[in-house]
Structure 1
Amino acid sequence: MAADRTSTTTQHVWTRLYPAGVGETPEIHDASTAHAWNARVEAAPSQIAVTYRGRRFTAADIDREAEALAAGFLSRGLQKSNIVGIYLQNVPQFAVALLAAWKIGVVPLVLNPMYRGRELRALIDDSAASALICDEADLGQVRETLTGGSLTWVLITDDDEYDRDPSDLTGDAQTAAVRESETTPAEATPAESGIAVYSWGPFLASKRTDAPDHRTELLPGLDDAALLTYTSGTTGPAKGAVGTHRNVLAVARSYGDWLNLDEGDVMLAIAPLFHITGAVACAATSLIFPITLDFIGRVNADKIVAAIRDDKVTVTIGSITVYNALLEHESATAEDLQSIRYLYSGGAPVPPATVERFRNRFGHYIHNIYGMTETASAVIGVPPNTEAPVDPATDTLAIGVPFPGLEARIVDIADGTVITDSSAGELELRGPQITPGYLGKPEANEAAFDEGWLRTGDVGVMDAAGWIYLVDRIKDQINASGYKVWPREVEDVLYEHPAVLEAAVVGQPDDYRGETVVAYVSLRTGQDVSAEELIAFAKERLAAYKYPRTVHVMSDLPKTHTGKIQRRLLRDSGREAASDR
């Protein structure tokens, strides 16, 4: 049933499900993320804020590094609202760079360090970033790719920078040598003198002091930009979503209160910090709450298990592929994860079958969480110590309820009227977490927003209690013989088979049906099952028009750099194969 266009769903019914002590609006008491961090440092300077490779860094240690880097930024002419790219894996330098930028109103642009060539150049050019922080190993390709554009200087570092005692983070001006990059003569022009290159240690050495200088006159405000994060570009050219300090604080404060984070908690940095989930739900939340942010560099199952066990990790957030990797780990046990309070998974749908497998093996429930680049990460989640219900119509696990301050509604995809029953439609969101828009993209802003409501592009259902269930992406709907098929419903059935590790379902052109359902799966270690068996398994559990007519068993499914399965690549490759026949 649909209502008129201006109405909304019943507001705040979902607050009845909130954890104790969590209010209806986010608790934003600070004027910016920098103010929030400075307040933490002043309140407890000796509190452990970051750990890395067994090294423990206090809030005061990290603050000195951030102040030194901020001073270095200023010495190189960076001003408020200028953009600096952070092109790193999950290492302490990432947190230091975020804080340094926030302290002087500079905007961090988070960049996937696996981007290369045109992919990287497009984002630097679009953002007009003038500086970049990267690993020394990436310097050659950075210079080759970015010379001649907006970039004027690069700060290089490496994984070993903070693999030393905090007392060794000292230096003097004599060691602060700066080296200019070489410029390829064939590419140089009189207006392009090359990219200056600085090394992290010497660059910060001359700026480190025992008494950090909180530059209050440069601190940003709530509505200033705090983060620039580009969409994945799966539906067109990537767009830079501007996250304000209000956006970031609204998410970080809500998520930290949601988990009741306090001194003694340890957040493991699993989600890539170059992704919005890692940058905000993990890093920003950990930095403004009195907890420890545990870095392990590029993640793998061995590192994750060791960190949880040895560093007494209490909370973390990562994609479902991370939890699949732990399920595939031969020696990991429930005892290794005994320090965990809460596990959260975002970025991709979580099949109910995977949640049950994980709990049966490790004794921990994986809580769903949902967010987008445009929402500054997590804005809908399953409350702690609560099991998400399953939609009886689709067997879909709920992604949660809206966080404090967020409004949510489901609208009819065809005419935009608000749906007031439990029918499916497009999920729209509004609140202090939502980006004010895309950088330099007025047409994209007009398409994405409706009177402050963000059109998510996700098909969802909201029940009477406020639980939200994601059906699928609108663009992924399959039309088989006139019937609508949502890939996720088929995938969840395939996940129920004990041999299936991962599954992706797409539509492929079909002369008879228009489109036909095709599945791609990878199998668990040591398991063996034929495509015919999987087709029969799905056929027993789905309507005749929904079960896959073809199943491809693969060693691994293509994924984004953040672990999300790329249906688009599978769909495109299948269509190319069909056109060749």
Structure 2
Amino acid sequence: MSYADRPWLARYPEGTPADLEVEYPSALAVFDAAVAAAPDAEFLHYFGTAQTFADVDRAARALAAALAERGFSRGDRLALYVQNNPAFVIGMVAAWRLGGAAVAINPMNKERELSYLLKDSGATALLALDDLYATIGQGVVDTGETSVTTVITCSPLDMQERDDDRLFAGQERVRTPGTLDLAELIAAGGGEDLPDPAPAADDIAVLAYTSGTTGDPKGAMNTQGNFAFNAQVYRDWTGLQAGEPILGIAPLFHITGLVGHIMTAMLVRAPLVLAHRFEPSVMVDAIREYRPVFTIGAITAFNALAAAPGATPDDLSSLRILYSGGAPIAPAVGDRLEQIYGAYIHNIYGLTETNSPSHAVPRGVRAPVDPDSGALSVGVPVMNTVVRVVGADGRDVPVGEVGEFVTSGPQVVPGYWNKPEASASSIPGGELHTGDVGFMDADGWFYVVDRKKDMINASGYKVWPREVEDVLYTHPAVREAAVVGVPDEYRGETVKAFVSLQGDASATPEEIIEFAKAQMAAYKYPRSVEIVDELPKTVTGKILRRELRDAVG
């Protein structure tokens, strides 16, 4: 059986094509078509307010006009340092409107991380939440070490009318001198006569950063064509219809939120429900109010919604089309949640470099469980996609044998920003070597059984151990450090650090955790630290992470 023969096509429901005819040449064309066909359709719900497609278009044009006045032009990058706010969508469309790209930045990132991303991307403009800019961003920009010359700030209190204390208690608007205010720019208007940038399919739409085999964050160049294709995959795979609301539980800066939420809502012309950040009780209230039909997120989010105080199966019953990616689903957890939601949670699998899905379980089909490993299948490759399983020699392995997933299709990014060697190594000839290890069974179902390297997957967020270790090494008491992922009932995996101390130095595990927490995004810092006399090493002095990981199970 050849992978090129796509044996998984037999798993497709009747009427599902093997290959899609892509309807739009670019992500911007998807949005413009929605504005033209349904200008008054609701696009973004945010704490009691609704922004139509025409509203978002006007806001994005006003921001684009302000950026253009300050020199932003084709090929430039606008960094987005916000939460799940309407501002994220407005900023992304504004960058596209000028022929530029957005840089999606995790709002949990601290100074060190933000500085690296701004420098690496070469972003000339930054749209940031006002409190994030005042406490973190300003210190980075003021160093003069980035290319940022224009800063626009916004408040999470913008474009809403409820001031929900569960998220916004004590929140006040902050205006930093030298910045522009997004709400003021939108009120001023403009941009109606901006020329059509007519982006090509291979133009960069979003730089979405991921950690690769070297451990250095790399900007995956997700293109306009990648987005247009995978939005259609989501629509056609799920059967989502126009007007059926989408619940935004995934972070918008993450590839899942970018495609599974924003782009899918644009293509389907469906309302997207946003709530600043994931807070289970707030989300349950949003479900009660807007009755969303579809969502996709990490299994931990589904667990949290089900466990929210006062949440009942009736509250969650509108969610009929459910997909989970980012972290593995234990079969028992999937079964338990199905009883609560009344709907089966389908697995989906992809990477930042595949613009979200490369595999998914067909809607209405239950994923099989591998009898040997107990792993739940991540699905089958989606339309237009070929996935091979290769051995260490680069050759296809027989069905049922374990190897690395190698993916090709219209969703695979062309490479990494300004990293030609990494691009050539990881995506030779347009085939993505994923670094994930698994197998395909005789029926075409795929299973992920391990990672090729040491990447940690905590609630769907990828954590590269070396980055955490580098921070730990800056602690004056730390002599050596090794970071591994350990099983965690809630997060799937969590970060554990082993450290040895300098000479007579002293430090408690709690002190080291707090030290790392102050310098890293919340999902990265170690949740536990074990102090040891010596770390296990090879004869050449290389620390053996696997030995540490095996020791903790």
Q: Does the TM-score normalized on the shorter chain lie above 0.5? A: yes
Matches within 5 A, 1:42-61: 42-61=36-55
- Offset of 1:362 from its aligned partner? 2.7
Deviations, residues 241-268 of structure 1 (Å, cap 9, x unaligned): 1011111111111111111222231111
- Cα 1:133/1:462, change in 2 over 3 Å: same
In 2, Cα distance between equivalents of 1:335 and 1:295: 21
- Offset of 1:449 from its aligned partner? 2.1
- Cα 1:434/1:286, change in 2 over 3 Å: same
- Cα 1:112/1:561, change in 2 over 3 Å: farther
Number of paired residues? Answer: 475
Matches within 5 A, 1:93-242: 93-140=87-134, 141-147=136-142, 148=144, 149-163=146-160, 196-208=178-190, 212-213=192-193, 215-216=195-196, 218-232=197-211, 236-242=215-221
Match of 1:29, SS?
coil
Match of 2:217, SS?
coil
1:377 alignment partner in structure 2: 356
* Structure 2 residue corresponding to 1:447, chosen from 392, 403, 425: 425
Q: Which AA in structure 1 matches 2:158? A: E
In 2, Cα distance between equivalents of 1:69 and 1:466: 47
Q: Which AA in structure 2 matches 1:430? A: S
1:299 alignment partner in structure 2: 278
Matches within 5 A, 1:279-294: 279-294=258-273
- Offset of 1:144 from its aligned partner? 0.8
Match of 1:393, SS?
coil
- Offset of 1:127 from its aligned partner? 0.8
- TM-score w.r.t. length of structure 2: 0.80
- Offset of 1:523 from its aligned partner? 7.7
Q: Which runs of 5+ in 1 are unaligned?
A: 166-178, 183-195, 478-486, 492-503, 507-516, 525-557
Match of 1:239, SS?
strand
- Cα 1:229/1:11, change in 2 over 3 Å: same
In 2, Cα distance between equivalents of 1:144 and 1:523: 35
- Offset of 1:338 from its aligned partner? 1.4
Match of 2:179, SS?
strand
* C-alpha RMSD over aligned residues: 3.1
In the alignment, is residue 456 of structure 1 matched against residue 457 of structure 2? Answer: no
In 1, Cα distance between equivalents of 2:288 and 2:399: 46
1:278 alignment partner in structure 2: 257
- Offset of 1:465 from its aligned partner? 2.1
- Offset of 1:521 from its aligned partner? 4.1
Matches within 5 A, 1:244-323: 244-323=223-302
* Structure 1 residue corresponding to 2:86, chosen from 79, 92, 99: 92
Match of 1:113, SS?
coil
1:475 alignment partner in structure 2: 453
- Offset of 1:329 from its aligned partner? 2.4
Quick check: 1:345–1:366 contact (8 Å CA) kept in 2? yes
In 2, Cα distance between equivalents of 1:72 and 1:390: 53
In 1, Cα distance between equivalents of 2:209 and 2:326: 15
2:75 alignment partner in structure 1: 81
* Structure 2 residue corresponding to 1:429, chosen from 407, 420, 428: 407
1:579 alignment partner in structure 2: 534
In 2, Cα distance between equivalents of 1:522 and 1:467: 26
Quick check: 1:50–1:56 contact (8 Å CA) kept in 2? yes
Q: Which AA in structure 2 matches 1:577? A: V
Q: Which AA in structure 2 matches 1:363? A: G
- TM-score w.r.t. length of structure 1: 0.76
1:415 alignment partner in structure 2: 393
- Cα 1:315/1:518, change in 2 over 3 Å: closer
Deviations, residues 508-560 of structure 1 (Å, cap 9, x unaligned): xxxxxxxxx99654589xxxxxxxxxxxxxxxxxxxxxxxxxxxxxxxxx999
- Cα 1:520/1:181, change in 2 over 3 Å: closer
Q: Which runs of 5+ in 2 are unaligned?
A: 163-173, 466-483, 492-515, 537-553
- Offset of 1:235 from its aligned partner? 5.0
1:465 alignment partner in structure 2: 443
In 1, Cα distance between equivalents of 2:44 and 2:14: 28
Quick check: 1:14–1:465 contact (8 Å CA) kept in 2? yes
In 2, Cα distance between equivalents of 1:423 and 1:11: 18
Q: Which AA in structure 1 matches 2:444? A: G
Deviations, residues 264-285 of structure 1 (Å, cap 9, x unaligned): 3111111001111111221111
Quick check: 2:109–2:520 contact (8 Å CA) kept in 1? no
Quick check: 1:350–1:397 contact (8 Å CA) kept in 2? yes
In 1, Cα distance between equivalents of 2:295 and 2:214: 29
In 2, Cα distance between equivalents of 1:340 and 1:465: 29
In 2, Cα distance between equivalents of 1:381 and 1:135: 34
Quick check: 2:348–2:360 contact (8 Å CA) kept in 1? yes
Quick check: 1:19–1:258 contact (8 Å CA) kept in 2? no
2:333 alignment partner in structure 1: 354
- Offset of 1:208 from its aligned partner? 4.3
- Cα 1:22/1:98, change in 2 over 3 Å: farther
- Offset of 1:287 from its aligned partner? 1.5
- Offset of 1:49 from its aligned partner? 1.3
